[in-house]
Structure 1
Amino acid sequence: MEKLDGKSLDLVKTNIEALKQLFPEVVTEGKIDFDKLKLVLGEEIETRNEKYEFTWHGKTQAMKLAQTPSTGTLRPDKASSKNWETTENLYIEGDNLEVLKLLQKSYFGKIKMIYIDPPYNTGKDFVYKDDFHDNIKNYKEITQQMAKANTETNGRFHTDWLNMMYPRLKLARNLLREDGVILVSIDDVEYANLKKILDEVFGQENFVGSFIWSAGRKNDSKYISISHEYILCYFKNMEFVREREIVWREKKEGLKEIYDTAQKLLKECNEDYKLASRLLKEWYNSLPDNHPSKQHKHYNCIDERGVYFPSDLSKPEANGARYEILHPVTNKPVKQPAGGWRYMNKEKMLELINNNRIHFGEDETTIPCYKRYLFESEYQVPYSVFYQDNRSASKRLKDLFGKKVFDFPKDENIIKKLISIASYAQEGANSSTNDIILDFFSGSATTAHAVMQLNAEDGGNRKFIMVQLPEKTDETSDAYKAGYKNICEIGKERIRRAGEKIVQETGKTDLDIGFKVFKLDSSNIKEWDPDFDNLEQTLFDLQNNIKEDRTKEDLLYEILLKIGLPLTVPIEEIDCGGKTIYNVAYGSALICLEDEIDLDLVQEMLKHRSEHMPPKVILKESGFMSDAVKTNALQTLKKHGITDVRSV
């Protein structure tokens, strides 16, 4: 019976396996023969000492840090969760570097979109310093202290920020699907550095572009009012996206107001389309220039199908067809466009007339147009520049809590827009509505709020994973005085309040507004760290290798992470003579962490195995009643085709 590996995914081993698949001849006894690899790669090798690269002090260590497996775990916290039994959302408290490592097996290649709003390194931000030797211990120590800013007087101001960002971005890339995308907010201070490390980690060829978010004028500057920030976008695999002809589109703003106004005018005009169209033009003219509906003012005609604009029917190259078309009222040939008709075939034009797709003027002196309906073109290519006053997000969050609890929250409407764009499908609908959205600098949990709001609007079932360091709030702050001792408490409460508000406003009771809380901690399993002065006691203590202050449920979720199952998989608890068997993911894994395991319990486990695949069976190493029972249990499982049996 194999011992369950207590570490997160070994990325070095994974990379070697990938090379082995491509070039088996370069791997010898698990090691890479670089001389052979150079021969295989031919001339595609950089041998010059001087070459184009982006480097800084500590980069090599940062790369190693990303590849060092974590020995930590995520412990469930049902008390601060919401709808634990049914939700598929996650809120994880902990250092995001360790959490990203722990998620590698369970969420490798499963995330559709990552959005992060990392520290901008303005001199006031907390920049987390990792510990190569024991990051879990370092995390526990750090979170008991007040966070210290990374000030510009620090001689390693940019270096510390780069060393924090690089390993996290490396690990984040592994979690993305092949059609996945990462979006990172930043301002001018670290834009250039962030762009360089994203180019290196994700590949310059996968750069999509930068959104520029204009967030309102600032008048306190001496030189330029810096009123914008950036959102850098990278695909995991641009070639994969292009091969599948995936495109991004966003729904035009202001459409609902146009549709509602058109319906209202038609009713007032007793279905007089001509009069309603004239009044619709007057309505457009009455709107302020910044009203979202005004940009669609060319859609100013109404017929029984809806709102449309009369589109040019001429041939762009001025070599169109020439044929007569009769006006439906005067029965005289209409004026033809100078370049000829767009449709070379007159039958096609007559078919469009019969289908009421051609807009005619008062008489034959006006050139007819094609009716282009608003409902047929509700989506557009996203603009790279957009305006959204960031003060409105602060006000909405303050209203949600009844007081100010967080400085400068991101705007949930902007994040919602980005998620909608990333999940657009060619047919003009959001097909990727079961996607997982990850934010590992979640702050006040704006991304979770945006996911729930978008699901309510388009009927989607997206899930979120929020990760946040439980950074202490300042004791003089309103948040601390209101009872929120760290940022995680603010984030969780925001999700609770926002979810309830969305349900109340939409009336939709089937939305997933819950979340399972997990907290980063050291492994539930004791380490082999013998006390040589009292070795007998050490060996006695290790007869039960589970830490005394940990529960079976703690260990269960650590096992899920180690065997690569998501933390939200369905788990059925089966009672067998007072002992619990965990049936995970409909028999994909059968787990028993009890003492005094006998053959009856093993036989009960067999009743719940999956019909589609042999399950993983995981048992407590010291839990068998005897060595004979352990041997017979393994033989029984093997006889039934179950060979993947592990112990903890």
Structure 2
Amino acid sequence: MPTLNWIGKDKVVNHHLDVPYRTLDTQYTFQSCKQTAGDSAPNMESDNLIIHGDNLEALKALLPHYEGRVKCIYIDPPYNTGNEGWVYNDNVNDPKIKRWLNNVVGKEGEDLSRHDKWLCMMYPRLKLLHKLLAEDGAIFISIDDSEQANLKLVMDEIFGANNFVSTVIWRKNYAPKSSAKYLSEDHEYIIIYTRKLTDWAINLMPRTEKQDKAYKNPDNDPRGLWRPNNLAARNFYSKGTYSIECPGGRIIAGPPPGSYWRVSEEKFWDMNRDNRIWWGKDGNGVPAPKIFLSEVKQGVVPQTFWSYEEVGHTQEAKKEVISILDSQASDSVFSTPKPVRLIERILQLGSKPGDIILDSFAGSGTTAHAVLNLNRQDGGKRKFILVEMEDYAETITAERVRRVMLSNFTPPHQLHIIDDQPETESFSYCTLGESLFDEEGNINPAVPIEKLREYIWFTETRLGGTPQLYKPQSPATHEDAGTSYWLGTCDDTAYYFCYEPEAATTLNLSLLTHIRERAGQYIIYADASTLADTFLQQHRIIFKKIPRDISRL
């Protein structure tokens, strides 16, 4: 398989492993129910997250709870067009990206072209997104011609060429740009990959009134609406050349020249006896097999060309952002946002009502808006995770989501306040907290003990999920302080994390007297051990030294 090489690639191929694991700190939780609308609830956590921070570190921080659980990822990364005026600085000269490149790629980074920089920035992020994606999930990436070819090769390398689904063309403009140097670009691409194509199934598009309009029932068939189909086809069929006598007496000598009847003569008359052939009002028409609406797919196979009439255009997207935020500033910040209808189409194809959706280049929060819209339409419980590194994460991204939750956004670009909100909608606003380890590899004493316990539990068991579902056991379930080290038991293995921020812990006979859980095997973390290897083996104990034996994500 062809692979893409660029300056700095060798420095970033495994860089996702070196990204420090940082905690996620909930700053507040917003709820839309009238009793608490607008209130901050710092002690609560929502299934919906908006994270302010570098998306590389944020994706790493999500691993303990979400690895392999995200069903649909949509990202709209910088297109790398060289346009300095865009907030993302999409020629990748943003100071934050430049500092990152200097640290990771080193002096070699001084010679990078803007394409090298873009690839260095994207590669580790795509590696982490691959880890977060469920095996039956899909990732949708918006891009234009600036990096489309490079992105396709990188995605083949990370996700596998055999997991490529298709490339969608979205017509984003409805009028040519007179300022275009050569051709006015009317389209962008959406590249689609799965984690494992054999496990993924795309959803059908709902049928439209226009598609169903052709179905009628002029003969009052009790099976309901139907439409006539063409009996003739161009494909050769050895049994498809017979003559037909119509009920009205007309003789049809055979199919039109160069074509054949679709079914054999025997099959044709069987269909007629079942009233599945339409002969026209006078009984002398060319016979047409009936296709009943009740028997066709209750959905439409999606196509790869999406027009702005179907899914919106960039001007519509700008009006949406301005209408919701009621601020002209948002127009200057987001010159090319995505319309809600476009993201709704992606979520309709790639998610189900209970799935987790992730957008790590969140921008103005369109993805969350689309999730809320779909949930309101079908009663679903989709959950969103947004990551935004820019300073407007709270004032624009979170603010837009907050206002949508308190309102009913209805095209064309009007915001209607809901007086009787049916259910509570919420999100937790998070920032990146402390790094778990310092530069020497030691545990950072500033990290809360519960965050350490959750991390150890995940790296040992790979039980991802929300903290409510997979949180390590509470120390309060034990009788004395010594057994507060117990994390939980999984697959007949009991896990203990014997750690004290201010003192060293030792695995010895005294500590073992506090081990109360019955299990086939024990994995015990401590700073040191005084027990002989033969004793440990005899009692099915695996000792792991802190911090040496703590796995790095």
Normalising by structure 2, report the TM-score: 0.72
- What secondary structure, in the 3-state scheme, does the structure 2 residue paired with 1:643 have? strand
1:414–1:623 Cα change, 3 Å: same
- Residue 325 of structure 2 corresponds to residue 413 of structure 1: no
Residue pair 2:482, 2:514 contacting (<8 A) in 1 also: no
Give the partner amino acid of 1:171: L
Give the partner amino acid of 1:398: I
Which residue is 1:520 aligned to? 432
Matches of 1:567 and 1:247, distance apart in 2? 23
- State percent identity of aligned pairs: 30
Give the partner amino acid of 1:495: V
Unpaired stretches in structure 1, ≥5 consecutive residues: 1-45, 47-51, 136-152, 259-292, 424-431, 473-485, 531-541, 572-583
Which residue is 2:530 aligned to? none
Shift of 1:167: 1.4
Which residue is 2:73 aligned to? 114
- Residue 24 of structure 2 corresponds to residue 74 of structure 1: yes
1:425-436 alignment to 2 at 5 Å?
Answer: 432-436=352-356
1:191-210 alignment to 2 at 5 Å?
Answer: 191-210=148-167
- What secondary structure, in the 3-state scheme, does the structure 2 residue paired with 1:396 have? helix
Shift of 1:366: 0.9
Which residue is 2:500 aligned to? 621
Unpaired stretches in structure 2, ≥5 consecutive residues: 33-40, 105-109, 410-416, 527-545, 547-553
Shift of 1:55: 1.9
Alignment match of 1:370 (pick from 289, 297, 322)? 289
- Residue 403 of structure 2 corresponds to residue 497 of structure 1: yes
Matches of 1:495 and 1:416, distance apart in 2? 15
Which has a greater percent of helix?
1
Matches of 1:634 and 1:131, distance apart in 2? 49
- Residue 405 of structure 2 corresponds to residue 455 of structure 1: no
1:505–1:361 Cα change, 3 Å: farther
- What secondary structure, in the 3-state scheme, does the structure 2 residue paired with 1:77 have? strand
Which has a greater percent of strand?
2
Alignment match of 1:570 (pick from 468, 481, 487)? 468
Matches of 2:322 and 2:27, distance apart in 1? 27
1:507–1:371 Cα change, 3 Å: farther
- What secondary structure, in the 3-state scheme, does the structure 1 residue paired with 2:71 have? strand
- Residue 282 of structure 2 corresponds to residue 392 of structure 1: no
1:195–1:86 Cα change, 3 Å: same
Shift of 1:67: 2.6
Deviation by residue 1:476-499 (Cα, 9 ceiling, x = unmatched)? xxxxxxxxxx23431112222223
Which residue is 2:473 aligned to? 590
Deviation by residue 1:174-220 (Cα, 9 ceiling, x = unmatched)? 22233332221111222222223223222333332211111113222
- What secondary structure, in the 3-state scheme, does the structure 1 residue paired with 2:337 have? coil
Deviation by residue 1:3-37 (Cα, 9 ceiling, x = unmatched)? xxxxxxxxxxxxxxxxxxxxxxxxxxxxxxxxxxx
- Residue 55 of structure 2 corresponds to residue 89 of structure 1: no
Shift of 1:458: 3.3
Give the partner amino acid of 1:411: P
Residue pair 1:94, 1:520 contacting (<8 A) in 2 also: yes
Pairwise CA RMSD: 4.3
Matches of 1:626 and 1:561, distance apart in 2? 22
Deviation by residue 1:498-554 (Cα, 9 ceiling, x = unmatched)? 2333597798835x7322333112236777799xxxxxxxxxxx9xx732xx66666
Matches of 2:441 and 2:190, distance apart in 1? 47
- What secondary structure, in the 3-state scheme, does the structure 2 residue paired with 1:518 have? strand
1:343–1:86 Cα change, 3 Å: farther
1:518–1:58 Cα change, 3 Å: same
Alignment match of 2:11 (pick from 61, 64, 70)? 61
- Residue 393 of structure 2 corresponds to residue 466 of structure 1: no
Give the partner amino acid of 1:310: P
1:525–1:79 Cα change, 3 Å: farther
1:101–1:621 Cα change, 3 Å: same
Which residue is 1:187 aligned to? 144
Residue pair 2:244, 2:254 contacting (<8 A) in 1 also: no
Alignment match of 2:128 (pick from 171, 174, 192)? 171
Matches of 1:612 and 1:205, distance apart in 2? 34
Deviation by residue 1:362-408 (Cα, 9 ceiling, x = unmatched)? 12211332332445344333222221222112212222222342512
Residue pair 1:250, 1:421 contacting (<8 A) in 2 also: yes
Shift of 1:95: 1.0
1:30-429 alignment to 2 at 5 Å?
Answer: 53-79=3-29, 85=44, 87-123=46-82, 124=84, 125-126=88-89, 127=92, 128-129=97-98, 131=100, 156-216=113-173, 217=175, 218-238=177-197, 240-241=198-199, 247-248=201-202, 250-251=204-205, 255=208, 258=209, 293=210, 298-299=214-215, 307-314=225-232, 317-318=236-237, 319-320=239-240, 327=247, 338=255, 342-344=262-264, 346=266, 349-350=269-270, 354=274, 357-374=276-293, 376-388=296-308, 389-404=313-328, 405=330, 406-407=333-334, 408-423=336-351
Matches of 1:598 and 1:221, distance apart in 2? 71
Residue pair 1:598, 1:624 contacting (<8 A) in 2 also: no
Shift of 1:457: 2.7
- What secondary structure, in the 3-state scheme, does the structure 2 residue paired with 1:636 have? coil
Shift of 1:96: 1.3
1:601–1:336 Cα change, 3 Å: farther
Matches of 1:199 and 1:399, distance apart in 2? 39
Deviation by residue 1:118-137 (Cα, 9 ceiling, x = unmatched)? 011122243323648989xx
Deviation by residue 1:86-133 (Cα, 9 ceiling, x = unmatched)? 742222221111222233344332222221100111222433236489
Matches of 2:440 and 2:474, distance apart in 1? 24
Shift of 1:420: 1.7
Matches of 1:64 and 1:526, distance apart in 2? 20
Residue pair 1:602, 1:633 contacting (<8 A) in 2 also: no
1:247–1:180 Cα change, 3 Å: closer
Deviation by residue 1:459-487 (Cα, 9 ceiling, x = unmatched)? 43332221111x13xxxxxxxxxxxxx23
- Residue 367 of structure 2 corresponds to residue 440 of structure 1: no
Which residue is 1:25 aligned to? none
Deviates more, 1:520-529 or 1:63-72: 520-529
Residue pair 2:436, 2:452 contacting (<8 A) in 1 also: yes
- What secondary structure, in the 3-state scheme, does the structure 1 residue paired with 2:395 have? helix
Matches of 2:303 and 2:431, distance apart in 1? 39
- What secondary structure, in the 3-state scheme, does the structure 1 residue paired with 2:16 have? helix
1:102–1:365 Cα change, 3 Å: same
Give the partner amino acid of 2:22: G
1:119–1:311 Cα change, 3 Å: same
Residue pair 1:591, 1:618 contacting (<8 A) in 2 also: no
Matches of 1:132 and 1:555, distance apart in 2? 29
Give the partner amino acid of 1:590: Q
Which residue is 1:267 aligned to? none
